[in-house]
Amino acid sequence: MHHQQYGLLPLDFAKAKPANGAVSRRGFIVSSLASGFALAAGAAQASTIVTDSRGLIAGEVKIAVQGGEIPAYRAMPEKGRDLPVLLVIQEIFGVHEHIKDVCRRYAKLGYCAIAPELFARQGDVSKMSDIGQILGEVVSKVPDAQVMSDLDAAVAYAKGTGRVDVKRLGAVGYCWGGRTVWLYAAHNPQLKAGVAYYGLLNGMKSEIKPADPIDLAANIKAPVLGLYAGLDKYIKEDVVEQMRGLLAKGSSGSEVLIFPGVDHGFNADYRPTYDAIAAEYAAKLAREWLHDHGA
């Protein structure tokens, strides 16, 4: 699948291509973050936003996890204490330059923003040029339980800096990361709030992914703001409406909004699907949502 089609065509995870060769359970394929953008993301667009690191401590760190350590990008103000913590959860392209920039944007707002490389054990997606290969050989092989554990480890890392207040914990995720925000909101009762950008609500269940967000909607503990695209071929409007109905049966106070006339990836300023007006308004809503819910 060409990168220009990503977000424009539905995915069939049932046809994901198995990885060539087994990955050791204790092996970590990715030991450091890639620079720039993932190959499969295509050439960066003129609209790409670059946030400077003035006044920040920003760069790669290592997070201790089960079986070893994974790389992560961390950005936080140079000064201050009791900073809120924000988990920034990657797209399928891994922690590339766009995700790093998102961390810096939130750090400028006073957050300790941290983006762990959640595919570190399964594969280096930065070097893969085909979306289908990423989905079949890496994404389909990443257990949800592993992701939840690694995110918990990222929170523990942030706490270890001695400068944060983990009681003010938030999460924001994009695409695959948007789905993950919904799952983490059901997993961690300490999460204050989450923002899920166009995360898949169904269709990814497998032996290592036992539940989709739509299965967990009524049991989500933290309020999540779902930001979805009206032209998204991945996530149909009837599925979004079903999610809304199920969320209403719970007590999380989550909400789901649909931006009309924009497509999947409307926040990705480095891609052709970027829509500046929708992205800026969504960012405003995300900031307010996190702040208003104590994150």
Question: What is the three-class DSSP state of 272?
Answer: coil
For the purposes of burial, counting CB atoms within 10 Å of the CB of 224, is it exposed (0-12), middle (13-18) or buried (19 or more)?
buried
- Quote the CA–CA distance of 158 and 153 in Å, as a whole number: 9
- 264 is a catalytic site residue: yes
Annotated catalytic residue: which of 98, 101, 144, 175? 175
Annotated catalytic residue: which of 98, 187, 264, 293? 264
- 175 is a catalytic site residue: yes
Annotated catalytic residue: which of 150, 232, 263, 275? 232
Pairing assessment for the beta strands 193-197 and 164-174 based on DSSP bridges: parallel
- 232 is a catalytic site residue: yes
Report the amino acid identity of residue 150. D
- Please answer whether residues 61 and 71 qualify as being in contact, where contact means their C-beta atoms are separated by less than 8 angstroms: yes
For the purposes of burial, counting CB atoms within 10 Å of the CB of 277, is it exposed (0-12), middle (13-18) or buried (19 or more)?
exposed
**Structure-token pair, residue 37:** 């953008």
- Quote the CA–CA distance of 226 and 173 in Å, as a whole number: 10
List C-alpha distances in Å: 243 to 175, 226, 235.
16, 10, 11
The catalytic site residues sit at 175, 232, 264
